[in-house]
Chain A
Amino acid sequence: GESVGLHLPTLSVQEGDNSIINCAYSNSASDYFIWYKQESGKGPQFIIDIRSNMDKRQGQRVTVLLNKTVKHLSLQIAATQPGDSAVYFCADRTNFGNEKLTFGTGTRLTIIP
């Protein structure tokens, strides 16, 4: 079956620095990927998504990179702020029309003031 996993469970970054959160997926049929941020006591919040026909997408302070050759996804957060501290999940979808997302375990990002 498909799996989505993260390389590191925790990550600490100095405030103002850039952070990179990595994610590996196993299903080459995955066509859509999404990053969510989850703060303590809250539900996951959409950050950014990318389709499999793209290799990079930028948002406000965030960039998602997709490398289909090695089935790797990363989330880059620029100029981190204390409010960026949260757990970050990547998720994928296997095929168009199937709305099921499969989530990875998550990485806890801590911003050090």
Chain B
Amino acid sequence: EAGVVQSPRYKIIEKKQPVAFWCNPISGHNTLYWYRQNLGQGPELLIRYENEEAVDDSQLPKDRFSAERLKGVDSTLKIQPAELGDSAVYLCASSLGPGSYEQYFGPGTRLTVT
């Protein structure tokens, strides 16, 4: 079974530029998460989707971050414009659905903003 797929794996951009990350969750997983992981820290939740609905986006900086999961499968996370402090690893995870505790993580996208 394929795991969570993310692309790109690495991205280097200049500040004020836009950037987008893509995630394909495990087949059949209804819940999708986007996390940000700063160097030496644990992942921090940005947004959680149940199918196509964002049910928890309280930690998403909405002035510059946006996300979508239009058909309830793949998801994109966008930053526009990027700031130096956005440099981090952006992780996508998925789980079967509400009540399913185990989250499966993708390899992440390492973003460097210069």
Contact = CB atoms under 8 A, between A and B. Distances in A.
A84 to B, nearest CB: 18
Interface stretch (B37-45, B69-77, B79-87): B37-45
Interface string B29-52: 001010000001111110010000
Given A43-B107, A43-B108, A99 B31 contact: yes
Interface stretch (A11-19, A70-78, A100-108): A100-108
Interface in A84-113: 89, 91, 93, 96-97, 99-101, 103-106
Contacts of B98: 97, 99
28 contacts: A34-B101, A41-B107, A42-B107, A43-B91, A43-B93, A43-B105, A43-B106, A49-B102, A89-B42, A91-B42, A93-B101, A96-B99, A97-B98, A99-B33, A99-B48, A99-B56, A99-B101, A100-B45, A101-B45, A103-B42, A103-B43, A103-B44, A104-B42, A105-B40, A105-B42, A106-B40, A106-B41, A106-B42
Identify the 10 closest CB pairs spanning chains A and B, nearest first. A103-B42, A43-B105, A44-B105, A89-B42, A43-B107, A103-B43, A43-B106, A43-B108, A46-B102, A43-B91
Contacts of B100: 99
A97 B97 CA distance: 10
Range class of the B interface residue count: 20 to 34
Interface of B: 4, 31, 33, 40-45, 48, 56, 91, 93, 95, 98-108
Range class of the A interface residue count: 20 to 34
Interface of A: 4, 32, 34, 36, 41-46, 49, 89, 91, 93, 96-97, 99-101, 103-106
